[in-house]
Structure 1
Amino acid sequence: MSEIADSREQICRLSKSLFDRGLSHGSTGNISVRLSDGSLLVTPTGSSMGFLQPDRISHLSASGVLHSGDPPTKELPLHTAFYETRQQTGAVVHLHSCHSVALSILADVDPDNVLQPLTAYGIMLLGKVKLLPFFVPGDPEMGEAVRQLDGKRSAVILANHGPVVAGKDLATAVNATEELEASARLALLLRGAPLNALSAAQTQQIVDRFDVDWT
């Protein structure tokens, strides 16, 4: 199977898994994968992640020309900003998952790091998670907000919208996105309770051992 065909199948398979478990709903969310030649596979605009068809996944040249499939998601500038600023990025996942969105709406979260250091895996897989401002869906300024991070964050949450996570490949990006949603849920469940969060020293141990970008 060719790289394009194999990647299209993987996008459909993992998208359906996210949809079936309630991490995506309706026609929300989108995924992209960068191929070895620099071209992109992107989920189509208006599509449901639970019912994608491989041959309708958008295939775009590195310069954005549509080669095959349906027109891509309107959030494409958000994806390309990660590829342009983080050279190690091989895939980007954007969801409207409930707990991550809920966390982004709270007035008292730290915009530089939305997630408290509650678990080791939240730190290992995500690093610091930046809260970006609200943008109207499809606004190219979302991509500009990501570019202004200069490649320093692999995970962000768009306020009142949802998480966007970049990874070295699609499986890594999906796993990190699921960790973000689980961490957001945990933070909401514990809200208002006395916490034994990880200390600064414990957090630094994890950062050092697993070479986490903690800037």
Structure 2
Amino acid sequence: MSAARHDLAAAGAHLAALGLSPGSSGNLSIREGSRVLITPTGTDLAAIDPDGLAVLDLDGTHRDGPRPSKEFPLHTAFYRRDPAARAVIHLHSRHATAAACRPAWSQHSALPPLTPYFVMRVGQTPLLPYAPPGDPRQAAELEQLPFPFRAALLQNHGPVVSGPSVSTAMDAAIELEETAALILALGPLPARLLTNTEAGALAEKYGTSWNG
């Protein structure tokens, strides 16, 4: 069994233990060269079989293994738009999904720069307009957005996050959920946000993106 398969199964178990993938929701993938290993449709992230992953080409062609998650177009779109992406995580985590049901904070990010860790670990997170789960048109829109990002909220659906490794993608998914929870907890109360200068300096230092 490859280390990548083991890492994917371990990440799924950790995210499930945190309560971020209710039922059989959510899907994970990892890129190995020109191939993508992705969880099959209906997979419980708490019990990923490392030897039972679907294998796709970067264009989404199914090469081996069981039927992939219907969300595979989102995963392959991230890999095609960002050569540095090595893992993609899509969840239906409660707070991030709730945030995805609200208007975007700005054109470039659904959520504001509330904490330094959101900017450091996630960065700007655009809100993609609603589409049915698995709709390739939404994946095409994600791929073609003309500014850098590593995470997005799918309107009325949930978060999708990429990273240069499984661990960084997982950390970003957890931080995105926590930021959404903080924003919802604040409600209509005024909040002090990081300034564009503060957020930009953090993004530059930690290799994320922030355009305000």
TM-score scaled by length of structure 2: 0.92
- Tell me if 1:153 matches 2:149: yes
Pairing partner for 1:118 from 107, 114, 129: 114
Q: Distance in 2 between matches of 1:201 and 1:51?
A: 43
Q: Equivalences for 1:186-205 in 2 at 5 Å?
A: 186-205=182-201
Give yes or no for contact 1:85–1:150 (8 Å, CA) kept in 2.
Answer: no
| TM-superposition CA deviations, 1:16-73 (whole Å, max 9, x none) | 11112110011111111001x3111000011111122112111234454444321111
Give yes or no for contact 1:82–1:151 (8 Å, CA) kept in 2.
Answer: no
Q: Do the aligned partners of residues 109 and 204 (structure 1) sit closer, same or farther apart at CA in structure 2, a change above 3 Å counting?
A: closer
Residue 73 of structure 1 aligns to which amino acid in structure 2? S
Name the structure 1 match of 2:10. 13
- Tell me if 1:214 matches 2:187: no
Name the structure 2 match of 1:44. 40
Deviation at 1:151, TM superposition (A): 6.1
Q: Do the aligned partners of residues 56 and 33 (structure 1) sit closer, same or farther apart at CA in structure 2, a change above 3 Å counting?
A: same
Q: Secondary structure at the match of 1:56?
A: coil
| TM-superposition CA deviations, 1:94-117 (whole Å, max 9, x none) | 001110010111246435311111
Number of residue-to-residue matches in the alignment: 211
Pairing partner for 2:31 from 24, 29, 34: 34
- Gaps (5+ residues) in structure 2? none
- Quick check: 199-208 or 130-139, which moved more? 199-208
Q: Secondary structure at the match of 2:194?
A: coil
Q: Distance in 1 between matches of 2:204 and 2:56?
A: 38
Name the structure 1 match of 2:171. 175
RMSD: 1.8
Q: Do the aligned partners of residues 206 and 70 (structure 1) sit closer, same or farther apart at CA in structure 2, a change above 3 Å counting?
A: same
Pairing partner for 1:74 from 61, 70, 76: 70
Give yes or no for contact 2:149–2:208 (8 Å, CA) kept in 1.
Answer: no
Q: Secondary structure at the match of 2:182?
A: helix
Identity, % of aligned positions: 37
Q: Secondary structure at the match of 1:101?
A: helix
Name the structure 1 match of 2:90. 94
- Quick check: 66-75 or 37-46, which moved more? 66-75
Q: Do the aligned partners of residues 137 and 179 (structure 1) sit closer, same or farther apart at CA in structure 2, a change above 3 Å counting?
A: same
- Gaps (5+ residues) in structure 1? none
Q: Distance in 1 between matches of 2:36 and 2:27?
A: 13
Deviation at 1:204, TM superposition (A): 2.9
Deviation at 1:150, TM superposition (A): 4.0
Q: Do the aligned partners of residues 75 and 110 (structure 1) sit closer, same or farther apart at CA in structure 2, a change above 3 Å counting?
A: same
Give yes or no for contact 2:16–2:46 (8 Å, CA) kept in 1.
Answer: yes
- Tell me if 1:24 matches 2:21: yes
